[in-house]
Chains A and B, each alone.
Chain A
Amino acid sequence: MAKIQRGNYAEKTVFVKVGNLSNIQKDGKLSVRIPIIDVQYVFHAYNVKNYGEDQYSWTGKTKNTESYGRLSVHYTEGKIFGDIEIEDTAFRLIDLSEGIGVLVKIKEDGGDKEDAVGCGNARKDIKFKENGSELSLEKNNSVCYVSVLFLYTDAAAQEGPDLSQLAYSAIQDANEALENSAVSSCDLRFKSVGLASIDMEESSFITEDLEIFIMGYSQADNAWLDPNSPFGTTQANTLRDDYGADVVIVFTGGTYDSTDGDPIHGEAGISVSLGGNLIPQAAFGIVSVNSAMNCKRKIFTHEIGHIMGLLHQDRMFYGRGYNFEAGGLFGKKKRRTLMHTLKKKQKRIHHFSNPDVNFEGEPTGTISANVTDGYDSVERLEQTGCIVADFREDLAPTLSVGITFSPCCSFFVNPDNTRIYTANIDNNTGQSPYQYEWRTSSDGFNYGLVLSTTNEMTQDYTGFQAGDILYIKVIATSFDGITGENFFFQEVF
């Protein structure tokens, strides 16, 4: 507690006992009085993963209220932790021991100027190779999990938060962003392959620190964009090999300066260039722990988005962030998707840009006719996911299950539709034949009887109403006894 109070992110703290969410939520609704601000909100489930009695993630958001609110709680290995976002205010819940925790109200940045960017660098000076061949898709995997190794410096550990909880939240948040944005679970999901410390003296310049991991990385001369750049020989690179990590995220503890004095929250290499060159040696990112504690910024998801080949809104490139007017709930407030940079008081929603997915009634992107126009990060992610997932061999393969659906292509379903869901198993994991168990749930927690034992399940949406969510879960078991599972959140419109 003493340490939490000293952390640069903490403004106010309070001890809380955290209840078992599976008992408290009712029909997908969770009414919560938030300590410190002492206001009651009702959160409506929209992304729930119930892995079993001892592991779940529950995310809900407010509906039809003035304030945008999002609550995301994870329960795993006896610990419950997560984030709450209420309009301009962010909270982080840290588990101290067995359901007793600290709720931290996150401090706003004192030093942000109006033109501060929420990401590391605006990268305006980087030019991509335009002569590279178009990205060719040779999928070696049919269900693509990108393995993430988390590293942390001494300074990061000194900041106080439990970094294993922060890393777990980061992966769940990033996957939730993919799900919100309708990225197919066959094309990309993230998984953690470990958390380890490194010996590293942090500098006050983030690019200088990133150069430790990406050999030859230099923002000034773009040397790192050369696909023939050598791999670094640092401890971090060795650990990456040891863990079989496709990408590496380094938690740092200090504050990074920029030329105009604003704090910098993170920076990452881009491992698939605009022209389609693969640069696995650039798949490193730095995320400041103090910034990552503030769920509003979504720094981890933003930086790993860069590693996956996404860019900021100001690049002439479809895989970029999008800035849109959200109507209704937010009046005329502008909202940004995850790859958009932020000025002070601006907010990111938990979506990558995708013209096919709406947020509060407004499209989250525009259609891309060619490589230089439109705003469609999801199209790019679905191209690069399997490529990045193939950077390193999986050392401890689990059964990777992806869910697709037919008929194609709208993500949403109408009440009079029937839809067939298909489980796809990565051809590199487990021995066939596979056994399947499909179940559905209306609240994400309570699943009914097994509805199908083949690789397909048919669901009739007669009687459903617009706004309903059906939670679909499939568990697959291989002939050699390896199990894997995945979820699908079917929104009805």
Chain B
Amino acid sequence: MKFQFKIYGCLLVALLFVGWSNAPLLSQELFTVLSESTDSTQ
């Protein structure tokens, strides 16, 4: 895997579940936001 999911893996799985369970059969939006936007920490 190219991405490190150690921290975010669980969150992502949860979001996937929420995203899919809420998704209508024909989504009318290009983007459905699954999280708050995050500022880059550098």
- Contacts from A to B (Cβ < 8 Å): 1-6, 10-21, 23-24, 30, 32-36, 73, 96-97, 100, 103, 105, 107, 157, 160, 162
The residue that B19 contacts in the complex, of A11, A13, A17, A157, with Cβ under 8 A, is A17
Does A19 lie within 8 Å of B35, measured CB to CB? Answer: no
- Option from A24, A33, A96, A103 in Cβ contact (under 8 Å) with B3: A96
Also in contact, A23 and B3, with CB within 8 A (given A14-B37, A16-B33): no
The answer to whether B8 touches A1, judged by C-beta atoms less than 8 angstroms apart, is yes
Contact among B3, B7, B32 for A17, CB-based, below 8 A: B32
Inter-chain contacts of A17 with B (CB < 8 A)? 19-20, 23, 27, 31-32, 34
Q: Hey, which chain A residues are within 8 Å of B2, CB to CB?
A: 3, 157, 160, 162
Residues of B within 8 A of A14 (CB): 33-38
Q: Can you list 26 contacts pairing A with B, beta carbon distance less than 8 Å?
A: A2-B6, A2-B8, A5-B42, A6-B40, A6-B42, A11-B39, A12-B37, A12-B39, A13-B37, A16-B32, A16-B33, A16-B34, A17-B23, A18-B30, A18-B32, A19-B29, A19-B32, A21-B30, A23-B27, A33-B29, A34-B31, A35-B31, A35-B33, A73-B30, A96-B3, A100-B34
Q: How many residues of B contact A (CB 8 A)?
A: 30
Known: A3-B4, A15-B12, A100-B19. A32 touches B38 (CB 8 A): no
CB pair B27–A19 under 8 Å, yes or no, is yes
* 9 smallest beta-carbon distances between A and B, as pairs: A19-B27, A15-B34, A15-B35, A14-B37, A1-B8, A17-B32, A17-B19, A16-B31, A10-B40
Note all chain B residues with C-beta closer than 8 A to A103: 31
Interface contact tally, CB-CB below 8 A: 98
Closest to B9 in A: A1
Chain B interface SS verdict (over half): loop
Kindly list chain A residues whose C-beta atoms are within 8 Å of the C-beta of B15.
15, 100
Complex CA distance for A23 and B27, rounded to whole angstroms? 8
Q: How far is the CA of A4 from the CA of B23 in the complex (A)?
A: 26
**Inter-subunit contact A13/B31 (CB<8 Å):** no
Q: Are A160's CB and B37's CB within 8 A?
A: no
B7 cross-chain contacts in A, Cβ below 8 A: 1-2
Shortest Cβ distance from A377 into chain B, in angstroms?
Answer: 33
Residue of A nearest to B32 (CB): A17
Known A-B contacts A1-B8, A162-B2; A36 and B37 likewise in contact (beta carbons under 8 Å): yes
New contact pairs (17) apart from A15-B34, A17-B32, CB-CB < 8 Å: A1-B8, A2-B4, A2-B6, A2-B8, A5-B38, A5-B42, A6-B40, A11-B40, A24-B28, A24-B30, A30-B30, A34-B31, A96-B12, A97-B16, A103-B31, A157-B2, A160-B3
What is the CB-to-nearest-CB distance from A23 to chain B, in angstroms, rounded to a whole number? Answer: 5
Docked-complex contact B35 and A12, CB < 8 angstroms: no
Residues of chain A within 8 A (CB-CB) of B19 are 17, 100
Measured in the bound complex, the distance between the Cα atoms of B3 and A6 in whole Å is 11
Bound CA span A5–B39, Å: 8
